[in-house]
């Protein structure tokens, strides 16, 4: 802590330095000034917390100094030490923030008591200032998020629309005369992978860049607001209070700004709210659908104000090719993977319309399939290939679009091939690290007993011959695989029979028997009584 002593008489300054218990009070720096001018220079440079000042000095005196301090460093605590018992001087000192007025020659106890009081007052004020500053920092950090939350709830229709709109008007200082709304929606998922890769280490920087450019192109909140959709983190939404034509002019400026900063132009779904403000949620949905259901084979226009009527690829599902793709992956041959992917992609080359929504569905199906394959054959420890698969995930969906937002079939082909090859290596690594394949098969049956399992399916999944599985499984468990499966199903059925609200036919289906009579037959063979009799025996 720093203390400044201001007095034109050096012997007075020296006496004060001797009397003060500086170390005890945490004062590590003592500064001196001979008049008000010198004091101002020292205060400006060193910012002392406590100032002890005489009132009568040549040049700028104590009264002028106190006035300056009250304006420029009001947080400082001032003690006046004067040889004049003058009411006018005392009143002036109090008016301009003096905490105490001590008369020369000052006594040791009196000086230290006043110093202690001033230091405690400064510390209390500083604690309050720090808390206020921290609260301000938190508010400054949270306010944009709070605005995003308010606007997200508005467009998804959570809560009372009128009340939400009133809160938004108050928060963003929007004129009460606003009574129309146009909505534009864009998605960072529809940026090409090359652009996303630049921001992989700082994904939020990409979002902020787009938000900042949009905000710069809106002159005031009365023209429009832009926000990040918190339920759809890849989406940036712009609410515009003017005409549709003026909003398109804003979006043109936004794309020009984006081209200069991230070297890309975005696509936008656009819709106008006919019933304001209650129609905002439906208008947002329309704008979002127009973005995601645009024709991704045509990128001449960046603004999409209608839905494409033809969606020719609707029936093309990647999951219909799951088994050929899986077998190609586990074969470990890139040629097999390429052939399987080509077989699925070939029909796409003859389409006139493909939407981003469909492309996103294919990518999600691929990730779902890969995740299920790895889960089904998971070993105790993860593998490097699985880690590589995880590393490829981005904060936004990586879709095979080019720089213009157009679907690239070569990129789609490459994406599928790379993911399948990596998955195949991970599957092979898991298989090789499994020291007990029969236990792996048993664990798989434990998890899938309710499905229609066959020895041929198990053979294909674990890359072992049916004869080998039959022989080794019986040796290890004392039961062949079908007996093990039957026992597993009946044991689970016995647990379910303890619930009287479950019908026996339902239990039969739940444990993997499609025929209730066959279930009863197997149950009686293994337990010596029918499922119904077994349930009755539980009550006895």
pLDDT in tens, 336-381: 999 999 999 999 998 889 999 999 999 888 888 887 787 655 543 3
Distance in angstroms (rounded) separating the CA atoms of residues 348 and 342: 10
Q: Where is pLDDT greater, at 268 or 392?
A: 268
Band (pLDDT 50/70/90 cuts) for residue 272 is very high
Q: Cis omega before residue 277 (within 30°)?
A: yes
Lowest-confidence segment of 45-54, 378-387, 466-475 by average pLDDT: 378-387
Residue 148 has pLDDT above 50, yes or no: yes
pLDDT value of residue 135 = 58
Band (pLDDT 50/70/90 cuts) for residue 160 is confident
Distance in angstroms (rounded) separating the CA atoms of residues 92 and 84: 13
Cβ atoms of 99 and 69 closer than 8 Å: no
Domains of the chain: 2-128 (3.40.50.2300), 157-304 (3.30.70.270), 318-433 (no CATH), 437-538 (1.10.10.60)
Distance in angstroms (rounded) separating the CA atoms of residues 363 and 370: 11
What backbone torsions phi and psi does residue 440 show, to the nearest 5 degrees?
-65, -40
Per residue in 56-105, pLDDT tens? Answer: 888 888 899 999 999 998 889 999 998 888 888 888 888 888 888 888 88
| Residue 412 DSSP label | H
Q: Where is pLDDT greater, at 352 or 434?
A: 352
Lowest-confidence segment of 12-21, 86-95, 222-231 by average pLDDT: 86-95
pLDDT value of residue 240 = 93
**Degrees (nearest 5) of the Cα angle 277, 280, 285?**
170
Q: Cis omega before residue 226 (within 30°)?
A: no
DSSP string, 281-328: HHHHHHHHHHHHTS-TT--S-SEE-S--S--TTTT--GGGGHHHHHHH
Do β-strands 235-240 and 224-228 pair in parallel, antiparallel, or remain unpaired?
antiparallel
User: What are the C-alpha distances in Å from 290 to residues 85, 275, 282, 309, 399?
Assistant: 82, 19, 12, 11, 18
Distance in angstroms (rounded) separating the CA atoms of residues 133 and 236: 31
**Degrees (nearest 5) of the Cα angle 107, 111, 115?**
175
Cβ atoms of 225 and 265 closer than 8 Å: no
Question: What's the residue count for the chain?
Answer: 540
Residue 6 has pLDDT above 90, yes or no: yes
Q: Long-range contacts of range 199-203, CB-CB < 8 Å, 24 or more positions apart?
A: 200/394, 203/394, 203/395, 203/396
Q: How many CA atoms lie within 13 A of 225 on its CB side?
A: 23
Specify the residue for token string 């379910």.
Answer: 496
Burial profile 501-532: b = 16 or more Cβ within 10 angstroms, e = fewer: eeebeebbeebbbeebeebbebbeeebeeebe
pLDDT value of residue 387 = 47
- Residues 425-440, mean pLDDT to the nearest whole number: 72
Distance in angstroms (rounded) separating the CA atoms of residues 260 and 398: 23
Beta bridge partners of 401: 407
- As a whole-number percent, the residues of the chain with pLDDT over 90 amount to 42
Residue (of 415, 309, 311, 321) closest to 356 by Cα position: 311
Burial profile 129-154: b = 16 or more Cβ within 10 angstroms, e = fewer: eeeeeeeeeeeeeeeeeebbebbbbb
Distance in angstroms (rounded) separating the CA atoms of residues 248 and 289: 18
Distance in angstroms (rounded) separating the CA atoms of residues 457 and 367: 22
What are the residues whose beta carbons fall under 8 Å from the beta carbon of 414, sequence distance 6 or more?
Answer: 400
pLDDT value of residue 238 = 96
Residue (of 124, 126, 100) closest to 114 by Cα position: 100
Cβ atoms of 439 and 348 closer than 8 Å: no
Residue 182 has pLDDT above 70, yes or no: yes
pLDDT value of residue 432 = 56
- Considering 212-226, 356-370, 403-417, 501-515, the range whose residues carry the highest mean pLDDT is 403-417
Lowest-confidence segment of 139-148, 263-272, 434-443 by average pLDDT: 139-148
Single pTM value for the model: 0.57
**Degrees (nearest 5) of the Cα angle 98, 101, 106?**
135
Per residue in 385-397, pLDDT tens? Answer: 444 444 444 456 7
- Residues 11-25, mean pLDDT to the nearest whole number: 92
- Residues 434-453, mean pLDDT to the nearest whole number: 82
Cβ atoms of 523 and 490 closer than 8 Å: yes
- Residues 129-151, mean pLDDT to the nearest whole number: 67
DSSP string, 229-249: -TTSTTEEEEEE-S-HHHHHH
């Amino acid at each position: 802590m720093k203390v400044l002593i201001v007095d034109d008489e050096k012997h007075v300054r020296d006496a004060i330095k001797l009397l003060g218990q500086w170390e005890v009070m945490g004062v590590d720096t003592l500064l001196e000034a001979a008049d008000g001018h010198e004091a101002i220079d020292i205060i400006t440079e060193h910012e002392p917390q406590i100032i002890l000042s005489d009132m009568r000095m040549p040049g700028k005196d104590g009264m002028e100094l106190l006035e300056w301090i009250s304006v420029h460093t009001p947080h400082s605590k001032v003690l006046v030490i004067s040889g004049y018992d003058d009411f006018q001087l005392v009143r002036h000192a109090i008016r301009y923030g003096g905490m105490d007025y001590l008369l020369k020659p000052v006594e040791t106890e009196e000086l230290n008591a006043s110093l202690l009081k001033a230091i405690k007052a400064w510390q209390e004020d500083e604690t309050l200032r720090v808390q206020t500053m921290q609260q301000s920092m938190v508010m400054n950090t949270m306010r944009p998020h709070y605005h995003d939350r308010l606007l997200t709830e508005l467009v998804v229709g959570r809560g009372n629309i009128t009340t939400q709109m009133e809160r938004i008007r108050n928060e963003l200082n929007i004129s009460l005369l606003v009574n129309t709304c146009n909505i534009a929606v864009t998605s960072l998922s529809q940026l090409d992978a090359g652009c996303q890769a630049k921001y992989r280490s700082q994904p939020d920087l990409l979002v902020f860049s787009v938000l900042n450019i949009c905000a710069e192109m809106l002159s005031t909140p009365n023209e429009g607001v832009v926000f990040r959709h918190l339920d759809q983190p890849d989406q940036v939404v712009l609410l515009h209070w003017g005409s549709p034509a003026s909003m398109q002019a804003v979006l043109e400026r936004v794309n020009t700004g984006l081209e200069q900063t991230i070297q890309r132009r975005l696509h936008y779904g656009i819709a106008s709210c006919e019933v304001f403000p209650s129609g905002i949620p439906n208008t947002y949905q329309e704008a979002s659908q127009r973005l995601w259901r645009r024709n991704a084979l045509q990128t001449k226009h960046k603004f999409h104000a209608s839905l494409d009527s033809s969606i020719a690829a609707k029936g093309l599902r990647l999951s219909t090719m799951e088994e050929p793709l899986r077998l190609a992956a586990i074969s470990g041959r890139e040629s097999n993977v390429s052939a399987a992917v080509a077989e699925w992609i070939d029909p796409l080359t003859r389409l006139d319309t493909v939407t981003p929504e469909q492309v996103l569905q294919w990518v999600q199906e691929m990730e779902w399939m890969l995740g299920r394959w790895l889960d089904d054959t998971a070993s105790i420890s993860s593998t490097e290939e699985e880690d590589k698969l995880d590393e490829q995930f981005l904060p936004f969906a990586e879709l095979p679009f080019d720089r213009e937002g157009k679907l690239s079939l070569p990129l789609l082909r490459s994406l599928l091939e790379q993911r399948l090859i990596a998955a195949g290596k991970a599957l092979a690594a898991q298989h090789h690290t499994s020291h007990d394949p029969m236990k792996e098969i048993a664990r798989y049956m434990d998890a899938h007993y309710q499905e229609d399992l066959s020895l041929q399916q198990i053979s294909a999944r674990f890359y072992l011959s049916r004869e080998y599985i039959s022989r080794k499984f019986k040796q290890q468990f004392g039961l062949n695989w079908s007996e093990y499966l039957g026992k597993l199903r009946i044991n689970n059925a016995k647990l379910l029979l303890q619930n009287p609200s479950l019908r026996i036919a339902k239990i039969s289906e739940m444990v993997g028997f499609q025929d209730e009579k066959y279930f009863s037959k197997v149950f009686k063979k293994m337990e010596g009584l029918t499922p119904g009799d077994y349930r009755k025996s539980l009550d006895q």
